[in-house]
Amino acid sequence: MASGPWFGLLGPLQVRLDDRLVPVRAGKHRALLAALLLRAGRVVPVGDLVAFLWGQAPPARTRGTLQTYVMRLRQLLGDPSLIRTTADGYRMVVPPERVDVHRFTTTAARASAAARAGDLGTAADLFAEALGLWRGQALADVPSSALRDDEVPRLAERLMIAHEERNDVELALGRHERLVPVLRGLTADHPLRERFWAQLMLALHRGSRQAEALEAFRRADHVLGEQLGVEPGDELRGLHQKILVGDPGLALPRRGRDPDVPRGLPPDVPGFVGRAAAVDRITRLIAPDGSRTAVPIVVVAGVAGVGKTALVTHVAHRLRDRFPDGLLYADLRGYTAGPPAETIDVLSRFLRALGVPPERIPGDVDECGSLFRSLLAQRRMLIVLDNAAAPDRVRPLLPGVAACPVLVTSRSDLRGLIAVDGARPVPLDVLTPAEAQTLLGRSGPAAAELARRCGHLPLTLGIAAASIGDEPVGHYLAALGDRTPARLAHERQSPATRRLFGLLGVVPGGDFDAQAAANLADVPVHEAAESLDRLAAVRLLVRHGDRYGFHDELARFARESEVADGAAARVRLLEYYAATVDRCAEVLYPDLVRLPAPERRHPRVPAVDTPAHARAWLDAELHNLTSAIRSAAEHGPAALSWRLADGLRGYLWIGRHVAEWLCSAHYGLVAAHDQRDRAGEAAMHRNLGTLHRRLGDFGTSISHYTRAVELHRLDGDRDAEAGVRAGLGLVRLEAGDLAAARDELEACLALQRETGGARSGEAGVLVGLGALAVETGEPAEAVVLLTEALSISTAHGLRVAGISARTLLGLALHLTGGNGDEHLAEALRSSVASGFTDAAARVLETTAYVRLRAGDHGAALSLADRALTELRDGADQRITTDVLTVMAAANRGLGALDLADAQYQQASTKARAIGYRAGLARALSGLAGLRRVQGELAESLMLADQAAALTAELGLCLPAELASPPLGHPETHTQAPPFG
């Protein structure tokens, strides 16, 4: 868990103690606490505090009143030592990194330094972390004009500089496409900041969107002239001229080209030795040949430790420029103690690397393979399949074109692949004596003897070379005796390091870091890190950055080492994973109902304080977590399998990791069923219900949710039943069964209130009912429901429900003649800060619709374009459908009838494909109106009738004129909260 309190000033004042939010309700208390936190660790004189709290009108007893406020703050914080009294003031004793303002300043400075040093990847990560700390305007609810006048402009300027520097880094990394929506938002929010306009123009130009880049300049010129009466500055005008003439200097520097081309190879082996003949043969076998139609397949076969992976990795790095569309790598884990890599998982990873949105990746191996081969049909790529144990592990991963050769490594020659698929063998023998001595870095008779004792195997030679150091070879040989270099290297370690090495053999995943190793061995993290470094130094482990892994043979050696508490260590590791997943869940999606965590020992959990931290940890550990779930299901403790799977549900939703989600939920469900744990089994059915809801497979989703309800009833757990029924209601809402959705949600709300459960559980249900009220033409009722939902969400820190409530409330207020812009703006800010791209797209689409109703077609189109860009990397097809409908209506209003026609038809096609009937009704209504304008009255009437029939069937409230609507978009909009 994170240690110590956490204080937030970059937004409304926030105090978090022991992972719970502590409200500071009195305005003067917030002002006092903010003044102390802004100068954390320094004495703030009484005179300054008086000025911050009362300005020019202090009370008669300022010092006594101030002392009372300090006393109450100490009581609120629960630790009087946090606020120290000094001779002339007060001092807040809290580490700067526990205050978001100081964390932001430090992290942004580190990001700038990394950028100046050329470490752009680190800079991008640090800027994302720094910017993710902002939750709104600094000191938003602190009632002190003096503090705001002093601090807010300074912080706002630092924020702008951080945005500018982050944008420069992202542009240098070649991420111009994903940066466009960010820059559109920044130019809209800060239209007088010319640097943002310049960055937007450059991003559009590098994305081959020259017309849009020039249009961005025109808008900047207009804004600056209208608001300031000035022309754009030299930088902006110079960039405009360069875009006009196609200046090659605007192109992305070579190092940043093609950022999305897959390059998933392990690092090349430094000081690669020998193998000239093998390198030459492999190069010739996969060389382009215009007459060849079959896929070139090369099988590099040899005994364990002979250097197969090193060879193919070296060849792939040498030849990477021949394959402009990239390289794909997968370790098939054919010789590990655990299960081999699942074919569906490998294909899913390949498809994601090729840019397929996760929710479009099929759940069937054959369908995945077909999609994979079709995507490679027009590409030139190299595929490396490492550690294949059998031909049937390779065949589903083969492309269908000769332009994509495949390198396979195996301990066998895979004769079936040679006989049936035309693979060409490259047998790999041990190194020659001369090559072996080169790898050792020594020569002479003693070195020759050591090479012989190592069997001329690169793996063993590498361990010997790393272990020998400056020691004479003869001394090393004497110490070696009849042992292997690996065993000698192991024996030379300290007892603690030897123990850790043996325990690492039980790790179910492919790699690990110091935090995982510390929990495994039950030692402090710094001790584990020191032991890992010692093991890596003698090549018993392989290190990549801050992560470590095994060669298969050394993993076997580790498992064979005699360690007393291996079984207990494995449980400790699984508990560490579960505890950290729980912590990430609390940060990323605190409103998602999860299984209660049991009382257990407290693992050493890394500090996870921000959504960026949580996503980074989960991204790094995802494959280890799915392996842990399978390990727990098959070898126990079984309960950890379904608890881990349940804890990952929100992350898998956000990241759309469909294959991993399906696999983890399956193992969790089987384990819970075998253990006859109804609560666990119900949680896994709910998990699968959420997954299939995400995929738009509403029938399967309803089946799983219904089974979860049945299991909770058998257990008599009415609170849990209510939670599942909320999800069931939301599925029915999305499926367009509005009457059933209302019945389910109202029954759920009644059940929640009857059982006296926490009010936090009501927020999502109220949002669903609010969405229903909007859909059925009752916006005033929606305002009441959504206001209550927002109040509950705010009180309980429910980020997801709060975003959904604000989005719908903003719309409902506009529909009732009010103004919901503030709610929509806050929903967008929160979505972006949390990394919820679907939610951000939905807010943008909703705001676009509001602008459309007001007749501002240009603004609507711009907002819808931003929404569509948010969805490019993996779209929720329902949101995409609605965005297309809004874009079509906007283009119709702007007179671009052909474009509107295409977008309406695209929206209706998508809606039919995914069973989104409400979206289909909207698209058909808009298309009917367009056909009337185009003079095609018969088709207009036919489309209007189809829309009217759908409207009546679903219970939607579409105004009668929508059969030929003025704007092409009904006054209805569904936005259910995502997690069920």
Residue 974: is its pLDDT beyond 50?
no
Neighbours of 464 (CB within 10 A): 29
Residue matched to tokens 């305002």:
783
The pair of three-digit structure tokens given for residue 448, joined into one six-digit string: 């020759």
Q: What is the mean pLDDT of residues 527-551?
A: 92
Range of weakest confidence among 382-386, 838-842, 968-972: 968-972
362 Cβ contact partners less than 8 Å away, ≥ 6 residues apart: 368, 371
Burial class (CB in 10 A: 0-12, 13-18, 19+), 696: middle
How many CA atoms lie less than 13 Å away from 699 in the CB half-sphere? 2
- The CA distance from 669 to 674, in Å, is 9
Torsion of CA 595, 346, 654, 356, to 10 degrees: -160
Where in the chain are the domains? 276-427, 433-492, 868-959
Note the pLDDT of residue 253. Answer: 56
Q: If you average pLDDT over every residue of the chain, what do you get?
A: 87
The pair of three-digit structure tokens given for residue 865, joined into one six-digit string: 């374009």
- The CA distance from 574 to 566, in Å, is 12
Range of weakest confidence among 63-77, 107-121, 426-440, 630-644: 107-121
Q: What is the mean pLDDT of residues 413-435?
A: 90
In 756-798, which residue ranges form alpha helices assigned H by DSSP? Answer: 762-775, 779-796
Residue matched to tokens 């959420």:
690
Residue 259: is its pLDDT beyond 50?
no
Note the pLDDT of residue 341. Answer: 87
- The CA distance from 122 to 110, in Å, is 9
Peptide bond into 637 cis (omega under 30): yes
Residue 457: is its pLDDT beyond 70?
yes
Q: What is the mean pLDDT of residues 380-400?
A: 93
- The CA distance from 456 to 353, in Å, is 37
Within 554-594, strands assigned E span none
Neighbours of 739 (CB within 10 A): 12
Classify 15 as helix, strand or coil.
strand
Considering the entire predicted model, what is its pTM?
Answer: 0.67
Residue 66: is its pLDDT beyond 90?
yes
**Hey, CA dihedral for 182, 185, 188, 191, is it positive or negative?**
negative
- The CA distance from 941 to 416, in Å, is 63
The torsion angles phi and psi of 723, rounded to 5 degrees, stand at: -60, -40
Note the pLDDT of residue 3. Answer: 58
Q: What is the mean pLDDT of residues 173-193?
A: 87
Burial class (CB in 10 A: 0-12, 13-18, 19+), 515: buried
- The CA distance from 329 to 317, in Å, is 12
Angstrom CA distances, 569 to 180, 213, 495, 572, stand at: 47, 57, 16, 5
- The CA distance from 939 to 349, in Å, is 45
The torsion angles phi and psi of 403, rounded to 5 degrees, stand at: -75, -5
Range of weakest confidence among 66-80, 197-211, 509-523: 197-211
In 454-513, which residue ranges form alpha helices assigned H by DSSP? Answer: 458-468, 473-480, 485-491, 495-504
The pair of three-digit structure tokens given for residue 343, joined into one six-digit string: 């074919």
DSSP state of 61: T
The torsion angles phi and psi of 776, rounded to 5 degrees, stand at: -95, 15
Instruction: Identify which of 111, 94, 167, 100 has the alpha carbon closest to the alpha carbon of residue 133.
Output: 100
Tens-place pLDDT, residues 35-58:
999 999 899 999 999 999 998 888
Kindly indicate the confidence band of residue 529, based on its pLDDT and cuts at 50, 70 and 90. Answer: very high
Domain 868-959 has CATH 1.25.40.10: yes
Neighbours of 819 (CB within 10 A): 11
Q: What is the mean pLDDT of residues 140-158?
A: 92
The pair of three-digit structure tokens given for residue 400, joined into one six-digit string: 């269908």
Tens-place pLDDT, residues 697-724:
888 999 999 999 999 999 988 888 888 9
Note the pLDDT of residue 289. Answer: 65
Note the pLDDT of residue 520. Answer: 94
- The CA distance from 616 to 125, in Å, is 9
The pair of three-digit structure tokens given for residue 19, joined into one six-digit string: 């992972």
Neighbours of 293 (CB within 10 A): 9
The torsion angles phi and psi of 513, rounded to 5 degrees, stand at: -120, -175
**Hey, CA dihedral for 18, 23, 28, 30, is it positive or negative?**
positive
Neighbours of 961 (CB within 10 A): 10
Instruction: Identify which of 109, 450, 438 has the alpha carbon closest to the alpha carbon of residue 272.
Output: 438
Supply the angle between the helices 718-735 and 678-694 in degrees, to the nearest 10.
20
- The CA distance from 921 to 939, in Å, is 15
What single letter denotes the amino acid at residue 16?
R
What single letter denotes the amino acid at residue 797?
G
Contact 98, 4 (CB under 8 A): yes
Contact 503, 569 (CB under 8 A): yes
Residue 383: is its pLDDT beyond 90?
yes
Residue 593: is its pLDDT beyond 90?
no
Strand partners, 542: 549
The torsion angles phi and psi of 80, rounded to 5 degrees, stand at: -60, -25
The torsion angles phi and psi of 412, rounded to 5 degrees, stand at: -115, 170
Contact 299, 406 (CB under 8 A): no
Burial class (CB in 10 A: 0-12, 13-18, 19+), 257: exposed
Note the pLDDT of residue 782. Answer: 93
CATH fold, domain 276-427, is Rossmann fold (3.40.50)
Q: Is 602 left (phi over 0), alpha (psi -120 to 50) or beta?
A: beta
Contact 5, 16 (CB under 8 A): yes
Q: What is the mean pLDDT of residues 121-138?
A: 88
- The CA distance from 356 to 360, in Å, is 7
Tens-place pLDDT, residues 198-210:
999 999 888 767 7
Note the pLDDT of residue 600. Answer: 62
Q: What percent of the chain has pLDDT over 70?
A: 93
Residue 971: is its pLDDT beyond 60?
no
DSSP secondary structure string for all residues of 890-957 = HHHHTT-HHHHHHHHHHHHHHHHHHT-HHHHHHHHHHHHHHHHHTT-HHHHHHHHHHHHHHHHHHT--
DSSP state of 88: S
Burial class (CB in 10 A: 0-12, 13-18, 19+), 228: exposed
122 Cβ contact partners less than 8 Å away, ≥ 6 residues apart: 111, 114
The pair of three-digit structure tokens given for residue 99, joined into one six-digit string: 């205050």
The torsion angles phi and psi of 425, rounded to 5 degrees, stand at: -85, 145
Q: What percent of the chain has pLDDT over 90?
A: 44
799 Cβ contact partners less than 8 Å away, ≥ 6 residues apart: 589, 590, 591, 793, 830, 834
DSSP state of 339: P
Classify 408 as helix, strand or coil.
strand
Residue matched to tokens 């179910």:
508
The pair of three-digit structure tokens given for residue 775, joined into one six-digit string: 């859909």
Which stretch, 11-20, 497-506, 932-941, has highest mean pLDDT? 497-506
- The CA distance from 922 to 864, in Å, is 16
Largest CA distance in the chain: 97
Note the pLDDT of residue 103. Answer: 92
Contact 90, 70 (CB under 8 A): yes
Note the pLDDT of residue 260. Answer: 53
